[in-house]
Structure 1
């Protein structure tokens, strides 16, 4: 989240991906941790230097997941990765997190609508707004026209004579 000129919270980026076949068999709790892990990996470069950042989830039990005495090997590996980051988990019900909840239910991510050889792209460079199953992380991601403007500026600079 980022604050605008009036002090209101604004989401800078959401992220999403389709689950792999094995991941679809995970218990719900592990799926939520998987989403959190994916977001932290995806935005890691922005988050490691942060003092403390917030992770918002619509799954209340994630607040206590790191204190659970009964961990699977997978959860233990993920929690050791989470220990590298300094974050606080906040519960935000899906009905109060409208954008993340709506985007996590995108119709083009419905596996029943996919053909056998069709794939959903892991990353959409055309937009700066994506989702991760109700988890928000603060990241600035330029949209395609800005990227093109930067590339064009570099090309013009390379063509300019040295003075």
Structure 2
């Protein structure tokens, strides 16, 4: 090309030399421990197996892997997705390398460190822990910015493979000509269609809408000011100083428990929020501190209006937008007492008949089969 300068030529030569000399992927050394970095997003899972080898100060990658989530997995809460990423990488992808060898799992999800010793696990988590029992490893937490490789592998590409193929294979002159000759009328038609579709969606009744969303900003602020607990927390946050021991004695027990989140509260546009972080997107979440009078509306929105999902999913939906001190307890209690869920979902009976021995008097007197 006419704009190919000496600088471009030298950069191209350097690139070829790096590809020839630098070994990007290392061969595994089974005499040294492995490092497995895992991460999950709302669209997929990612993992990279690496190892610190002789002559190198940093870990060298051995293999990269990723996968998209199926429909059921895409509905998992954040903590289960992170657990799924670890189980999938160890048991399904790298078991032939990791079995019988010591390794360390790196994750940016701190609760995952304690998943193997968690006292209460559901049936799915128990099966995953049983599969992981065959491997010898420990789990180490690392901050999200240091887990960029696994994080990038878990996310969708910015463009589809079809678009990438066209952009990389089609000559530049042809792409430029197509862009310059694109008719104004065609662009306007595309915008009109998009606008019409948006207007159509706005006219539909949103069954997933939270009832609390119908409240105005002034009403949300007024409810907080009238609540005896939230109003006291607002007072201390606006004052900008923690309550002293003498002041805590005069406060209610719930107010004192809520103030344990000190440092995470902020006031935005006059409303009190608790600032948290989404474990998948690493973005800040502003959780509305819900007064007692609105908690029933919140639970109805995240459970009844969201399809009567289970306790874990309902709790995850609630934590994306709301906060109060007993959120987890109230959510589980609400779901367990939901009339529709109780009637449609058959729970496992708590009381069972005791097992007894069966005594027979002759061979093949009793034949039992199962499938």
Q: TM-score range by the shorter chain?
A: 0.5 to 0.7
Shift of 1:103: 2.7
Whole-angstrom CA distance in 2 between matches of 1:16 and 1:73: 25
Structure 1 outlier segments of 4+, above 4 Å:
none
Q: Give, in whole Å, the separation in 2 of the partners of 1:9 and 1:101.
A: 17
Contact 1:55 1:87 in 2 (8 A): yes
Distance 2:85 2:77 in 1: 13
Compared CA separation, residues 14 and 94, structure 1 to 2 (3 A): farther
Separation in 2, partners of 1:60, 1:30? 13
Unaligned runs of 5+ in 2: 1-49, 162-279, 281-371
Deviations 1:78-135 (A, max 9, x none): 0000111001111112201222222322325x9xx79xxxxxxxxxxxxxxxxxx9xx
In the alignment, the residues of structure 2 paired with residue 49 and residue 64 of structure 1 have an alpha-carbon distance, to the nearest angstrom, of 22
1:71 aligned partner: 121
Q: CA RMSD in A?
A: 2.1
Cα distance in 2, alignment partners of residues 13 and 92 from structure 1: 20
CA contact (8 A) 1:2 1:9 kept: yes
Q: Does 1:55 align with 2:110?
A: no
Contact (CA 8 Å) 1:56, 1:92: kept in 2 or not?
A: yes
Q: Residues of 1 paired with 2:56 and 2:119: CA distance? A: 44
> Which residue, out of 29, 34, 46, partners 2:79?
29
Distance in 1, Cα, partners of 2:157 & 2:110: 25
State the shift of 1:28 in Å: 1.1
* CA deviation after TM superposition for structure 1 residue 26, in Å: 1.2
Give 1:14 deviation, angstroms: 2.2
Q: Deviations over 1:12-70 (max 9, x none)?
A: 222110011001111111111111111012100111121x1011111111100111112
Contact 2:100 2:136 in 1 (8 A): no
Following the alignment from structure 1 to structure 2, what is the Cα–Cα distance between the partners of residues 63 and 84?
17
Q: TM-score, normalised to structure 1's length?
A: 0.62
The structure with more radius of gyration = 2
Aligned to 2:94: 43
CA contact (8 A) 1:95 1:101 kept: no
* TM-score, with structure 2 as normaliser: 0.28
Cα distance in 1, alignment partners of residues 84 and 152 from structure 2: 19
Alignment correspondent of 1:17: 67
SS of match in other structure, 1:17: strand
Higher relative contact order (CA 8 A, sep 6+): 1
1:2 to 48, 51, 70: 51
Aligned equivalents of 2:72 and 2:125: distance in 1?
Answer: 15
Question: Does the 8 Å contact 1:37/1:82 carry over to 2?
Answer: yes
CA distance in 2, matches of 1:44, 1:65: 19
